[in-house]
Structure 1
Amino acid sequence: MTDPLASDPEIAELLRREETRRRGSLQMVAAESTATPAVRAAVGSILADKYAEGYPGHRYHGGAEVVDEVEQLAISRAHTLFGADYVNVQPLSWALANFAVYAAFSQPGDQVLSLNLKHGGHQSHGSRANLSGRWFSVLNYEVRRDTERIDYDQIRDLALIHRPRILVAGGTSYSRSWDFAAMRTIADEADCILWVDAAHLAGLAVGGVLDSPVPYADVVTVATNKVMRGPRGGLLLARSEHEDSLSRAVYPFMQGAPAMHSIAAKAVAFGECLRPEYAAYARDVADDAATLATELGARGLRTVSGGTDTHLAVIEVSSLGITGREAAKRLAACRIIVDKAVTPFDEAPVSEGSAIRFGTAVLAADGLRPADMPQIADLMLDAMRTDPSDEARRAAITAAVAAVGEG
C-alpha cells in the first residue's frame, strides 16, 4: 500500500525522526502516555472530516446521524467507566474543559482557591500567565513544610475566611493521593463548588489504583491523553444539577464544533479502560513509579513528600551539584526524557529548579516493570553525574538506555 504521506516527504521525514527519537529511549514525561493502536486509528479516521456543531439530536449541520451515535456511545461508556451523572465528551482539550468550569460556575473577578503552582498546582488553576489568573481572584493553599503533603487544615481556614466561588483539588506535580471526602466537607462548609482536576488522576482511578473523585466533586475534569492512553482531549464529569450550565459553557460559550474523530477515539479509550488488562496496566504504572522513586532514594536522591501514590514523582537533584534544568539536559543527552521541576519551597529560580519530574505511563506501556527500575535508576544517576563534555561516557550510557528501551 502506498504511503499517503509520500506526497509530503518533509512531513514524512519529520515523523520518521520522531519515531527514531522515541525508539530505544526512556520516555518519562509525566504528562505523556502512548495512545493505543485502536485510538490512533480512530483519530486518523473519516470522522476527522465531519462538522457536527451542537449536541446529539440537536446539530446545526446535516448528515450527523452516525456521529450522533458515536458521541452517544462515548458518553455511555464514560458513564459506565466513571459512574458520573453527567458526561460531556466534547472539550477539545483538558485546558478547555477547565475553562468551561470557570464559565459554568463563576464570573470574572470571583475568588478561586487552588494549590500553589510551585507546590504542584497547574497554570490553569490561577497562574498570572494564564487566563485563569488574569480573570479571577486566585488564592493559593500549600503543602505542609514538614511532610510536603496537602494541608487540609489550611485549606479549611482559607475557604472559611475568603468563601471562594470554586475550590480546586488536583494539580500537575503533586504525587500523592487526595482526601476527596475532606475537600467535599470543606466545600460544603464554605458553600462553594468543588472542582477536582483529575487530569493526572483519572486513569489511575478507573484502574482501581486511586479513589475516584466523582462521588465527591461537583465537577471533574479529565485529560484523556494521559495515563488513560486515549487521544488528546478533555472530558467533563459532573452532578446532574450542573448539566445545563456545563453544556452551555462548552457549546456555544467555549468552542464551536467538536472533533468527532477525537470523540470516537475517546470512546475507544473508554472501552479499553473497561477491560481487565487496563487495571493491570494502571497498577504497573503506579508500581513502576513507586519503585523508581525508592531506588533513586536508595542512591541518595530525595523524593518530594517521601514517595508517590501516582504515576509521577518529583526528585530533588541539588545534592548532585546541578539544577533541575541541567539534570534534565544531561538525561536527555542520554535519551532519558524528563521535565525539570521545582520543589515546594524551592529557593532556586523557577527557570532552573532544584528537581526533575518523571512519569511512568509510557514505561509501563512499553512493558517495563518494577524489576527494571533499579537499572533505570542507575542509568539516570550515571547520566546526571556525567559531564556533558565526556562524549565516550555519554555514548555508553545512551547505548545502555537503548538496550532497556528496546528490550
Structure 2
Amino acid sequence: MKSLQDQDPKVFKLLEEETDRQNYNLELIASENFASRAVISAMGSVLTNKYAEGYPGKRYYGGCEVVDVVENVARDRAKDLFGADWVNVQPHSGATANAAVYLACMNPGDTLLGFDLSHGGHLTHGSPVNFSGITYDAKFYGVEKDTGRLDMNKIRDKAKQVKPKMISIGASAYPRDYDYEAFRDIADEVGALLWMDMAHTAGLIATGNLRDPLPLAHVVTTTTHKTLRGPRGGMILVGKDSENTLGVTARKSGRTKNWGEIFDSAVFPGTQGGPLMHVIAAKAVAFGEALEDDFKTYQTQTQKNAKAMANKFIDLGYNIVSNGTDNHLILIDLRNKDLNGKIAEEALGNAAITVNKNMVPFDTESPFVTSGIRIGSPAMTTRGLKEAEFEQIAILIDKVLQKPTDEENHKKVEQEVRDLCDKFPLYDFVTT
C-alpha cells in the first residue's frame, strides 16, 4: 500500500500546512488541545476498519474479539479516572452523548431548565436553533449582570416556576466552578433529574482541581478532547450514588431496566449506529495518560496559567467577565475597548493568535459579531508554557487590539509569536 504522501500529495500537503499552523500559532481556543502522538497513532490505526455495532460480548458483527477488549479497557480506565460506576465510551461527540441523555430521560415537549447560551451555556442545552430546543420545552437560567456569576437562589425560584423534568449544568464560556450540592437540592425539591455536562472541565474535575459532579448529578456527559486532551469524542458517566437514585426513579416511572442499560440503549441503537473503534482506542490511551501523576501537574498549571493571564488582562484595563476564572478559560467583554469579537478574532488571527469571538452576558451584538472573545489555556499549557509566557501572550494580544487594522503591527506580533513557539516545539510529524 502507498503512503498518504504518495497516494494523495494534495491532501498530504494540506496536512503539512495544518501542522505548520498548529506549530506556529498561539492556540487559545478554550475547547481545543493538542493530543499526544500516542493518541493520534491510535486514532489513525487499523481499528478504523472494524464495524462493531452493539457492546462488548453483545455485537451484531463477528470478529470483535479484539475491539471488545479495547472498549473494555477504555471503560475501565474512565471509571478509574472519574470514580464512576458505569460509563459509555461510544458517543461520537459531546452533542451525541447529550442527545442520548435526552432520549433516555425525557419525552418530546418535556421541560428542560438549562444554562442560557448567551450567558455562557451550551448549544445543546436548549438553544432554539438546536435539536434540544426544538424537541423540548427549554427554559433558562443565567448569570447576574453585576457579578457575571450564577445566583443559586434565583435558579431555585426559576425551577419552582417552570417545574422542569431535567436541570442541566455546564457551559462553553463560564469561567467559574459550580455548586453541585445547591443544584441537587433544587433538583430534589422540584422532582427533576440533574445532568452535568462537564465537557470543558472534565480534565480539571478528574484531577480534583474542580469540584466533582458525579456524586450529586444523576448523569454526567463529557467530551474527551478539551481539558482531557484525548481524541474528539464523547462519553456518558453515572456515579455510584447517582445510580441508586436513578434506579429508584426508573422503577417509579415503570422502567424495568437499570439506568446503565437505558443509557446504553439510548446511544445504540437510539442515536448512533456503529461505534468508532479507532477513536475508542484513542480514548483508552488518553484515559491512561490522564491516570498518570503528571496529568495532575498539567491541570494545575492550566489553572495557574488562566489565572495569570486573567490578572494581566485586568491590569491592562480589560473587562473580564466575573472578574477572573476558576478553570481554564477567560471571557473578555471588549465593549470598554470599543471593539467587538469579530474584529478582535480577525485581527488576532492575522498575528497568528487563535481565539474565537464569543457572546458575553447581556450582549448587545449578534452571535455573528459578539461583544467578546473567549480565551483558554489548555493547548498552550500542553506545549509547556507557564505563567510568565501567558502574561506575555496577554501583552501581545493587547498590542494587536490597540491597533486592530495595522497590518505592519500584525506582522511584528506574528514574529514574536513565532519566536515564542520555537521555544516550545510541538509536532515533529505530519502523520503517524
Q: Per the shorter chain, which TM-score range?
A: over 0.9
Q: Distance in 2 between matches of 1:201 and 1:183?
A: 17
Check if 1:337 corresponds to 2:354.
yes
Aligned with 1:266 (options 252, 258, 283): 283
Contact residue 344 and residue 404 of structure 2 kept, 8 A: no
Contact residue 180 and residue 216 of structure 2 kept, 8 A: yes
Moved more, 18-27 or 177-186: 18-27
2:300: which partner in 1?
Answer: 283
Contact residue 318 and residue 324 of structure 1 kept, 8 A: no
Check if 1:101 corresponds to 2:97.
no
2:236: which partner in 1?
Answer: 236
Check if 1:378 corresponds to 2:395.
yes
Aligned with 2:412 (options 396, 403, 406): 396
1:5: which partner in 2?
Answer: 5
Check if 1:301 corresponds to 2:318.
yes
2:31: which partner in 1?
Answer: 31
Q: Which amino acid aligns with 2:410?
A: R
Q: Distance in 2 between matches of 1:311 and 1:406?
A: 24
Contact residue 202 and residue 212 of structure 1 kept, 8 A: no
1:207: which partner in 2?
Answer: 207
Equivalent positions of 1:95-134 (< 5 A) are 95-134=95-134
Q: Distance in 2 between matches of 1:2 and 1:201?
A: 41
1:74: which partner in 2?
Answer: 74
Q: Secondary structure at the match of 2:373?
A: strand
1:312: which partner in 2?
Answer: 329
Alignment gaps of 5+ in structure 1: none
Q: Distance in 2 between matches of 1:379 and 1:3?
A: 40
Q: Please give the TM-score of this superposition, normalised by the length of structure 2.
A: 0.92
1:18: which partner in 2?
Answer: 18
Q: Secondary structure at the match of 1:210?
A: coil
User: Per the alignment, do residues 132 and 9 of structure 1 end up closer, same or farther by CA in structure 2, a change over 3 Å counting?
Assistant: same
Check if 1:165 corresponds to 2:165.
yes
Aligned with 1:355 (options 361, 372, 375): 372
Contact residue 4 and residue 12 of structure 2 kept, 8 A: no
Contact residue 343 and residue 404 of structure 2 kept, 8 A: no
Alignment gaps of 5+ in structure 2: 248-258, 424-432
Q: Distance in 2 between matches of 1:288 and 1:124?
A: 29
State the 1:377 CA deviation.
1.1
1:52: which partner in 2?
Answer: 52
Contact residue 345 and residue 354 of structure 2 kept, 8 A: yes
Q: Which amino acid aligns with 2:409?
A: R
Q: Secondary structure at the match of 2:269?
A: helix
Q: Which amino acid aligns with 1:136?
A: Y
- For residues 310-336 of structure 1, the C-alpha deviation after alignment (integer angstroms, 9 at most, x for no partner) is 111101222222111101111111000
Q: Secondary structure at the match of 1:87?
A: strand
Q: Distance in 1 between matches of 2:367 and 2:4?
A: 43
Q: Secondary structure at the match of 1:204?
A: helix
Q: How many residues align structurally?
A: 406
